[in-house]
C-alpha cells in the first residue's frame, strides 16, 4: 500500500484491490478499479480533476490478465479512463496505443462525446498505412465516471406481466416527449420526461403493458453525421454496455443519469408497466479498421472483436457497421452477460430486445442455435427469467433465422409483418399464410414446442415506414438523410391508396384511414405478442422517410397535437387493446386446434374457417389465388388453459370477418349451433357506427377492404349448459 499525492486531489491510498468485479466499483470509502487485458504490458489508470488535469496511476496488480487496484477516497462523480501499453501491429490484429484515452468497458456512466478529431484514430488521415498516430486523444474523447450504486428503490417490483397478456409499445426516449407540452421544457427528451405522469397515464390509458425503449446504452454520435448537420438518432452505435446514454439525462453526466434512469423505471413499475431495452451487443461504435480507438480496440482488440481469418487487420462484419463482437471469446461473452445481469439486478429492467441477434449466435462462421451465448443465457438464473426478444436476422450468410431461436426466446416475426402488409394490399396467394400468421405462426414455432408468444407480431417498427406512411407512400422519400435517397429499403410492401403522399381527395384519405384501422385490428386480434410502433396510433408520419436513423428532429419526433381524425384512431386502437386484454380467447397461451379430418361434424372445434356463404372452407377455397376474404369462428368455451388461480377459462365466442377485396362482400353468419346472437363491436368501414345485433344465419355486409368483429351476446356458461 502506498499513497498518491497530486495537485487538486486529496491524499489517496493505493491498495492491491480485487480482480472482481470488473469496472469501477464504489464501496463508500473508495473505488476498486479492474480492467481485463490479455495483451497489455502496462496499464495506467487516468484520473481527471475539475480542470481536466490528468493524473496517471500505474496499475500494479495483475491476476488472470485482470489489472486492478483499490484507491481510497475516490468519490462518485470521479472521471477516469485507461491507457494501455502493448503491441501495435494492425497486420497481426494488435492495436494498443497508450496515446489514446480509453473508456472502461464496464463504465456505468460516461461523460461527453467524441468530436471526430484525428487524435481519436491510431493512424494519420494522410497516411493510413503509416506509423502509429501518437496524438493524445484525452481532450477529444469521452470519459468514464464513477457512480454511486445506492438508490432507494422502496418496494419496487417487476410487474412480471405474462407474455400472452403483453402489449409492447416501441418508443424513443427523446422522440417520445420532445414535443409534449404537458412535460416541462427542461425535461423533455429525457428519462425524467419519459417518467412524467402525463406520459405514463397516456400509455396506461392506451392499454400498454411494456415500453420497449430504443437503444439507451451509451452510444457515439458519429462525426460524419454531425458534419452534415445530422446525428445518430436511433443510437445503434453502442460504446458503453453498462451506461445509460448521457444525452438523455437532464440531471448530469457524472452518474446522475443512472439515478434518473432508475427513477424512470421505478415510476413505470408503479404504474404496472414493464421496461424492455433494445440492446446492441452485436457490434460497437469503433467500426472497422479505419474507425476510432475509443475502448475495446485499444484494450484487447483480439479478445473482443472477430477478425478476418488470415487477415486480422480487418474485421469480420455481419452487422453492416464495420465489426462484430467475438462470440466465442469468454471475455466478450462475460462482458455481455455481466451487462445484461447488471441491467436486471441494478437497473430493474424487465427484458431485452436483441438487435441483429443472429450475430450473437455466430460462434464461428454460421449461425449456431447451440452457441455458447445461448447456453450461457439459458442457464443464467437472472437473465433467463426476464423477457428475451430476438431480432432474428443479421446481414451475414444464413442470417435470416425467423423461427430458429431457442424455446425460451420470443422473436420479431418479420414474416408476420410482410404477410399482413401483402394481404391488405390484396396481393395474390396470401390467404393461407395470412391465416397462419393470424393464429400465432404455428408453422414457425410449434415444431420445437414453442407457443404463440414466441411470435412478436408487428406491422411497423422504428426501421421502415410508419403505419401512416405505409398507406400513404409507394416509394421511400429519404432526401433529408443527405444520401440522394439511396439509403433505406426500396421494397416496403406499401400502398399509397392511389396518390403518392398527402392529398385532399376525400376517397383516398377515407381509404387510408380504413386501412390503418384494418392493420391495427389485424395486429390486435392476432395470437402472439403485439408490438405497436410509438406514434402509429395517432398517425405519426416521417413524410415518407423509411430510414430516419439520423433525423433527431420533427421528422422522427412524436407529435402530441392531434387532429380529430388522429384522436379517433387513438380511441379505436385503445378500444381494440382493451378488448384483447379482456378476452382470453383473443390472446391464448396455446395454439388453436382446428377440425381434424374425419372428425364428427357435429362437434364444435376451437376454431372454424368459413367462406362468405357460411360454409366451412375446403381445399379449393384455400387454394384460390385470388381469395381475399374469410370468416373465422373462435370458440371461447373451449380454451385448454386455466387462469392464474387454476380455474377453467370461459370466454365469449367471436367471429372475425376479413375482406381485403376492392368490392363489398355479403357474409352469411354461421348456423345456430355456433351461437344464436351476435353483437357487432368493430367495423373498420364505420368505426363510429352502432353496435348492431345479428342472429345466426343472418347476412352482414363487409364493405370493401374492411374488417368486422362480432362477439356472442349470450353468456357462454349458460349457452353451453342449455345446448
Which of 359, 370, 408 lies closest to 388 in space, CA to CA?
A: 408
Residue 54 a catalytic site member: no
Catalytic-labelled residue, pool 54, 278, 350, 391: 391
Return the CA Rg of the chain.
28
C-alpha cell at 275: 421496461
Task: Output the CA–CA distances (angstroms, integers) from residue 487 to 142, 317, 393, 462, in the order listed.
Answer: 29, 19, 19, 15
Separation CA 400–CA 392 (nearest Å)? 6
Separation CA 191–CA 213 (nearest Å)? 11
Residues 6 or more apart from 543 whose CB is under 8 A from it?
469, 477, 480, 501, 555
Which of 243, 283, 246 lies closest to 107 in space, CA to CA?
A: 243
Separation CA 357–CA 77 (nearest Å)? 34
Nearest 5°: phi and psi at 314?
Answer: -105, 160
DSSP state for residue 307 in the 8-state scheme: E
Asked if 392 contacts 400 with a C-beta cutoff of 8 angstroms, the reply is yes
Separation CA 448–CA 438 (nearest Å)? 19
Task: Output the CA–CA distances (angstroms, integers) from residue 283 to 25, 304, 375, 411, in the order listed.
Answer: 25, 10, 20, 20
Nearest 5°: phi and psi at 214?
Answer: -60, 165
DSSP state for residue 637 in the 8-state scheme: T
Q: Is 636 left (phi over 0), alpha (psi -120 to 50) or beta?
A: alpha
SS3 532: strand
Catalytic-labelled residue, pool 44, 111, 256, 355: 355
SS3 296: helix
Side-chain half-sphere exposure of 400, counting CA atoms within 13 A = 4
> How many residues are given for the chain?
723
| CA 271 remoteness from chain centre | 21
Q: Positive or negative CA dihedral for 19, 22, 25, 27? A: negative
Separation CA 298–CA 305 (nearest Å)? 11
DSSP state for residue 702 in the 8-state scheme: E
Torsion angle, alpha carbons of 159, 164, 169, 172, to 10: 70
Q: Which helix (H) or strand (E) holds 67?
A: strand 66-72
Q: Positive or negative CA dihedral for 61, 63, 66, 70? A: negative
Residue 391 a catalytic site member: yes
Separation CA 343–CA 625 (nearest Å)? 49
Catalytic center residues: 355, 391
Amino acid at each position: 500500500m502506498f499513497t498518491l499525492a497530486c495537485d487538486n486531489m486529496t491524499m489517496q491510498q493505493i491498495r492491491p484491490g480485487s480482480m472482481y468485479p470488473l469496472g469501477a466499483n464504489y464501496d463508500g470509502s473508495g473505488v476498486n478499479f479492474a480492467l481485463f487485458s490479455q495483451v497489455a504490458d502496462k496499464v495506467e489508470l487516468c484520473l481527471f480533476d475539475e480542470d481536466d488535469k490528468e493524473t496517471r496511476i500505474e496499475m500494479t496488480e495483475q491476476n488472470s490478465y485482470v489489472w486492478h487496484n483499490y484507491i481510497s477516497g475516490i468519490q462518485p462523480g470521479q472521471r477516469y479512463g485507461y491507457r494501455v501499453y502493448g503491441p501495435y501491429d494492425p497486420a497481426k490484429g494488435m492495436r494498443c496505443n497508450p496515446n489514446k484515452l480509453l473508456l472502461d468497458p464496464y463504465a456505468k456512466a460516461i461523460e461527453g462525446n467524441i468530436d471526430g478529431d484525428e487524435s481519436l484514430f491510431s493512424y494519420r488521415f494522410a497516411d493510413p498505412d503509416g506509423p502509429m498516430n501518437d496524438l493524445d486523444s484525452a481532450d477529444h474523447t469521452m470519459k468514464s465516471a464513477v457512480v454511486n450504486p445506492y438508490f432507494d428503490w422502496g418496494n419496487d417490483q417487476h410487474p412480471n406481466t405474462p407474455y400472452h397478456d403483453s402489449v409492447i409499445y416501441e418508443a424513443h426516449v427523446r422522440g417520445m416527449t420532445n414535443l409534449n407540452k404537458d412535460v416541462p421544457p427542461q425535461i423533455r427528451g429525457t428519462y425524467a420526461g419519459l417518467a412524467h405522469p402525463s406520459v405514463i397515464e397516456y400509455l396506461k390509458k392506451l392499454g400498454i403493458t411494456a415500453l420497449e425503449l430504443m437503444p439507451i446504452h451509451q452510444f457515439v454520435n458519429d462525426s460524419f453525421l454531425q458534419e452534415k448537420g445530422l446525428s445518430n438518432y436511433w443510437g445503434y452505435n453502442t460504446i458503453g454496455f453498462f451506461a445509460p446514454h448521457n444525452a438523455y439525462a437532464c440531471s448530469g453526466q457524472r452518474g446522475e443519469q443512472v439515478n434518473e434512469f432508475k427513477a424512470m423505471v421505478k415510476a413505470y413499475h408503479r404504474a404496472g408497466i414493464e421496461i424492455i431495452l433494445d440492446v446492441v451487443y452485436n457490434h460497437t461504435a469503433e467500426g472497422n479498421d479505419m474507425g476510432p480507438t475509443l475502448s475495446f480496440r485499444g484494450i484487447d482488440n483480439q479478445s473482443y472483436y472477430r477478425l478476418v481469418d488470415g487477415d486480422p487487420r480487418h474485421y469480420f462484419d455481419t452487422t453492416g457497421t464495420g465489426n462484430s463482437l467475438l462470440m466465442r471469446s469468454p471475455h466478450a461473452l462475460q462482458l455481455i452477460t455481466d451487462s445484461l445481469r447488471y441491467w436486471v439486478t441494478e437497473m430493474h429492467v424487465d427484458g431485452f430486445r436483441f438487435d441483429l441477434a443472429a450475430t450473437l449466435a455466430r460462434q464461428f462462421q454460421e449461425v449456431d442455435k447451440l452457441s455458447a451465448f445461448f447456453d450461457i443465457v439459458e442457464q443464467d438464473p437472472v437473465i433467463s427469467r426476464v423477457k428475451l426478444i430476438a431480432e432474428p436476422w443479421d446481414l451475414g450468410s444464413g442470417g435470416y433465422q425467423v423461427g430458429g431461436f431457442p424455446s425460451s426466446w420470443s422473436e420479431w416475426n418479420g414474416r408476420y409483418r410482410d404477410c399482413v402488409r401483402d394481404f391488405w394490399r390484396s396481393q395474390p396467394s396470401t390467404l393461407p399464410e395470412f391465416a397462419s400468421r393470424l393464429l400465432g405462426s404455428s408453422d414457425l414455432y410449434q415444431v420445437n414446442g414453442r407457443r404463440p408468444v414466441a411470435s412478436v407480431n408487428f406491422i411497423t417498427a422504428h426501421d421502415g415506414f410508419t403505419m401512416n406512411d405505409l398507406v400513404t407512400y409507394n416509394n421511400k422519400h429519404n432526401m433529408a438523410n443527405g444520401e440522394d435517397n439511396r439509403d433505406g429499403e426500396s421494397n416496403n410492401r406499401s400502398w399509397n391508396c392511389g396518390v403518392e403522399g398527402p392529398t385532399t381527395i376525400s376517397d383516398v384519405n377515407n381509404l387510408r384511414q380504413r386501412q390503418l384501422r384494418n392493420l391495427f385490428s389485424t395486429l390486435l386480434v392476432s395470437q402472439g405478442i403485439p408490438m405497436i410502433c410509438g406514434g402509429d396510433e395517432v398517425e405519426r408520419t416521417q413524410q415518407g422517410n423509411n430510414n430516419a436513423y439520423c433525423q433527431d428532429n420533427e421528422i422522427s419526433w412524436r407529435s402530441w397535437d392531434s387532429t380529430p381524425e388522429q384522436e379517433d384512431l387513438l380511441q379505436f386502437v385503445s378500444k381494440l387493446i382493451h378488448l384483447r386484454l379482456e378476452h382470453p380467447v383473443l390472446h391464448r397461451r396455446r395454439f388453436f386446434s382446428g377440425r381434424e379430418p374425419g372428425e364428427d361434424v357435429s362437434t364444435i372445434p376451437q376454431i372454424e374457417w368459413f367462406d362468405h356463404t357460411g360454409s366451412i372452407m375446403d381445399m379449393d377455397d384455400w387454394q384460390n389465388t385470388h381469395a381475399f376474404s374469410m370468416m373465422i369462428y373462435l370458440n371461447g368455451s373451449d380454451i385448454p388453459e386455466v387462469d392464474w388461480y387454476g380455474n377453467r377459462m370461459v370466454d365469449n365466442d367471436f367471429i372475425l370477418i376479413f375482406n381485403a377485396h376492392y368490392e363489398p362482400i355479403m357474409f352469411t353468419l354461421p348456423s345456430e349451433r355456433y351461437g344464436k346472437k351476435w353483437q357487432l363491436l368493430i367495423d373498420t368501414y364505420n368505426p363510429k357506427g352502432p353496435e348492431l345485433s345479428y342472429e345466426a344465419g343472418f347476412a352482414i355486409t363487409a364493405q370493401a377492404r374492411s374488417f368486422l368483429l362480432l362477439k356472442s351476446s349470450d353468456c357462454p356458461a349458460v349457452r353451453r349448459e342449455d345446448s
